[in-house]
Chain A
């Protein structure tokens, strides 16, 4: 076996723990608690457990026993995936990686005592805490809507039952009916997501309800992959989609879930399905832990540690890190840098230079896939982009089909990287 950093862990672990941890924790392995089992949390838990080879005790707190990915949920709406294909369990992380998986809600963080309290009453001590709770919605962001209205007007912006509900509502639309989307303001999870969703809803409707209309109220002037989506909508779904941007009142929106109306710039529209994607903020536990400023949790770029408490790391959508978009790929990428840094701090293993990547694939229609991506590095100020690419308009059908096949391979790859 070649000499590598693992060979040093045995001795370094004891020394590292004694230096890093308070006296009461001097015995035993250093403890890392991870809150949130998505692309950030599951990945960091797996890498911590795998690379420390048992030298670090890893606990993963996630309420759901089955995790439904938000990425690829639009493909379920379009009819390209079964819902079951988006579900993943934590069994392998527990059995093969020795991670202590607890299905519960984290409801409190005591930063002085370094403990996390769960809804079930358990209190988990930590040397390092990783928060990767995804997003929550900003109260009052869309007048007339709150979470209690999410059955009448689903957000479907967290994977699982909301996604199924939205698809069922679309399938039940009357002939020639109207699907409305209230698109979110920046910054939000998955920049191309709402527009991939529009594409997938259009694809579904063009098959089952071809005279139906899609109405999008959008507070943003521009969005990611705009040229590619607009080209695709014209090509595949001509005449079906109307997007109202801020110049025409797309930012001035109110909804009435009881009446199923959307008011855009004072004009009342009766709609059959209304997908409200409100403004977003960090998952609530980040607020509870006191590591947010405004809606998000500011972090250092080199290790994703909170700028407020360096024993807490924040990954993925909740983090304000700089140039990376809020995406599953980004959270997965940040998790590996974070794991490497935490192991360095707790066990003395080698810390390599932080580097990040992101690629977002979107499906516009059958075999019409596009992608956007960028490379990033850490700076004192932020995670900074250093390179980027995007699919081009007018690409050949073969290239678009290859891009779609690639996205399927990526889904299998990243979910394996998350869940083992």
Chain B
């Protein structure tokens, strides 16, 4: 899961109605920057451990997890404390390895520039599991908040937008209100609906699917859904 704050430029870009998620960096440029890494880290077909561990399938791998590589005591300690190589941690580590693991043997000054880091991570992403084959694989992009597009959201609680958004819900929840293994969500009072969705969004209520679904909905979108589901026959 990617929790970093988005740069202002990205937020501005999503005002355009066709703008979608932002794919991190440019992998081709990342490949050029990788010369700063390749002296120690192999990646790609047949990559093996060298001075540093190979970086195939680095995404979502636990720190210090490769058999046959002798990691520093500090990295092993970080691993025991649950360090996972997700986007945020990789980003922090290649900005300055000491940020995450003060005694790491990775002797590297770091990529100061966010774009450089994004590009290198995008390059590394090519050599980790592909989400189209392994759906649980680490994401390849950052979601944007669509709630800020005023030409799309004419009014708060727009039931027409709610109807479109509801098409994601009706893959599981039946529009007829039929309840079989998955609860009915039709004809709820608007407030109840909004409160429940925010509880999934902020994690107070726990359900893997609903936390993901609600997590990507803006306040306006939740209002639009509530308005739609409150009124359908």
Chain A residues with Cβ under 8 A from B129's Cβ? Answer: 222
Cβ of B143: which chain A residues have Cβ within 8 Å of it? 375, 377, 386-387
Q: Are B174 and A352 in contact (CB under 8 A)?
A: no
Interface size class for chain B?
35 or more
B159 contacts A by Cβ under 8 Å = yes
Known: A323-B131, A372-B135, A416-B174. A336 touches B167 (CB 8 A): yes
Whether the pair A388, B213 counts as a contact (CB closer than 8 A) is no
Closest approach, in angstroms, between the C-beta of B215 and any C-beta of chain A? 7
Question: A378–B212 contact, CB under 8 A?
Answer: no
Q: Which residues of B contact A355 (CB under 8 A)?
A: 146, 168, 216
- Asked if A2 contacts B159 (CB within 8 A), the reply is yes
Q: Mark B142-178, 1 if CB is under 8 A from A, else 0.
A: 1110100100100000111101110110111111101
CB-CB under 8 A for A371 and B133, given A352-B161, A357-B213, A379-B22: no
Does A374 sit at the interface, judged by CB under 8 A? yes
Measured CB to CB, the closest approach of chain B to A378, in angstroms, equals: 4
1-18 of chain B: CB within 8 A of chain A? 1-2, 17-18
Nearest residue (CB) in A for B143 is A386
Proximity bits, A320-352, B CB within 8 Å = 1, else 0: 001111100100110010001000000000111
The interface bits of chain B over 103-145 (1 if a CB of A lies within 8 angstroms of the residue's CB, else 0) are 0000000000000000000000000011111111111111110
Chain B 35-57: CB-based contact to A (< 8 A → 1; otherwise 0): 00000000000000000000000
Interface of B is mostly: loop
> Closest A-chain residue to B162, C-beta based?
A4
Let me know if A59 is at the binding interface, CB within 8 A. Answer: no
Q: How far is the CB of A55 from chain B (nearest CB, A)?
A: 15
- Provide the bound-state CA to CA distance between A382 and B125, in Å: 15
Contact partner, A384, options B17, B135, B140, Cβ 8 Å: B140
Q: A357-B171, A372-B136 are in contact. Are A377 and B208 (CB under 8 A)?
A: no
Report whether B209 and A373 are in contact in the complex, using a CB–CB cutoff of 8 Å.
yes
**Given A186-B130, A413-B171, A416-B174: A377 and B20 interface contact (C-beta under 8 Å):** yes
How many Å lie between the Cα of A352 and that of B144 in the bound state?
A: 14
CB distance from B15 to the nearest CB of A (A): 11
Tell me whether B181 is interfacial, beta carbon within 8 Å.
Answer: yes
Judging by beta carbons under 8 Å apart, are A410 and B182 in contact? yes
B196 at interface, CB cutoff 8 A: no
B23 lies within 8 A of A384 (CB): yes
Min Cβ gap B148→A in Å is 11
**Does B192 lie at the interface of the complex (its beta carbon under 8 Å from any beta carbon of A)?**
no
Select which of B20, B135, B152, B173 is within 8 A of A374 by beta carbon: B135
Given A187-B133, A225-B136, A353-B152, check contact A386 B21 (CB 8 Å): yes
Asked whether, in the complex, the Cβ of A333 is within 8 Å of the Cβ of B168, the reply is yes
Pairwise interchain contact A187-B132, C-beta atoms closer than 8 A: yes
Contact of A373 with B212 in the complex, beta carbons under 8 Å: yes
Main secondary structure of the interface of A (DSSP, over half): mixed
- B180 contacts chain A at the CB level, 8 A cutoff: yes
Name the B residues within 8 Å of A4 (CB-CB).
158-160, 163
Whose C-beta in chain B lies nearest to the C-beta of A326? B132
Contacts of B168 in A (CB 8 A): 333, 336, 355, 357
Q: How far apart are the CA atoms of A2 and B160 in the complex, in Å? A: 9
Q: How far does the alpha carbon of A290 sit from the alpha carbon of B142 in the complex, in Å?
A: 33
User: Is the beta-carbon distance between A386 and B135 smaller than 8 angstroms?
Assistant: no
Q: A384-B23, A387-B1 are in contact. Are A409 and B180 (CB under 8 A)?
A: yes
Q: Are A409 and B132 in contact, CB atoms less than 8 angstroms apart? A: no
Chain A contributes a number of interface residues (CB within 8 A of B) equal to 65
CA distance A302 to B16 in the complex (A): 13
From B1, B141, B163, B215, give the contact of A379 (CB < 8 A).
B141
Q: How far is the CA of A385 from the CA of B1 in the complex (A)?
A: 10
Q: Is the CB of B144 within 8 A of A377?
A: yes
CA A278 to CA B77, docked complex, whole Å: 45
In the complex, which residues 104-125 of chain A have their Cβ closer than 8 Å to any Cβ of chain B?
A: none
Q: Mark A275-318, 1 if CB is under 8 A from B, else 0.
A: 00000000000000000000000000110000000000000000
Q: Which of B24-75 contact A (CB under 8 A)?
A: none
The answer to whether A350 touches B139, judged by C-beta atoms less than 8 angstroms apart, is no
Q: What's the Cα separation between A9 and B215 when bound, in Å? A: 33
CB-based contact B212/A389 at 8 Å = yes
Pairwise interchain contact B174-A412, C-beta atoms closer than 8 A: yes
Q: Cα distance A408–B23 when bound, in Å? A: 34
Given that A47-B167, A389-B208 are known contacts, is A410 also in contact with B172, CB under 8 Å in the complex? yes
CB contact under 8 A between A353 and B146, given known A186-B130, A323-B132, A390-B136: yes
Q: Is the CB of B132 within 8 A of A412?
A: no
Residues of A within 8 A of B158 (CB): 4
Instruction: Say yes or no: is A381 at the interface (Cβ < 8 Å to chain B).
Output: yes
Chain A residues within an 8 Å CB radius of B19: 353
Q: Does A81 contact B (CB under 8 A)?
A: no
Q: Which residues of A are found within 8 Å of B161, using beta-carbon distances?
A: 350, 352
- Chain A positions within 8 Å of B, measured between CB atoms, are 2, 4-6, 47, 186-187, 191, 222-225, 301-302, 322-326, 329, 332-333, 336, 340, 350-355, 357-360, 371-382, 384-391, 405-410, 412-414, 416-417
> Closest 9 A-B residue pairs measured CB to CB?
A409-B181, A409-B182, A384-B141, A377-B21, A378-B20, A386-B143, A4-B160, A390-B136, A336-B167
26 A-B residue pairs with Cβ-Cβ distance under 8 Å, sorted by A, are A5-B160, A6-B160, A47-B167, A224-B136, A333-B171, A336-B164, A351-B17, A352-B161, A357-B212, A357-B213, A372-B136, A373-B212, A377-B20, A378-B21, A386-B139, A386-B141, A386-B142, A387-B2, A388-B212, A389-B211, A406-B181, A407-B181, A408-B181, A409-B172, A409-B179, A412-B181
Contacts A186-B133, A333-B171 known; 7 new A-B pairs at CB < 8 A: A6-B160, A323-B132, A336-B167, A373-B209, A407-B181, A409-B180, A413-B173
Residues of B within 8 A of A (CB): 1-2, 17-23, 129-144, 146, 149, 152, 158-161, 163-165, 167-168, 170-176, 178-182, 208-209, 211-213, 215-216
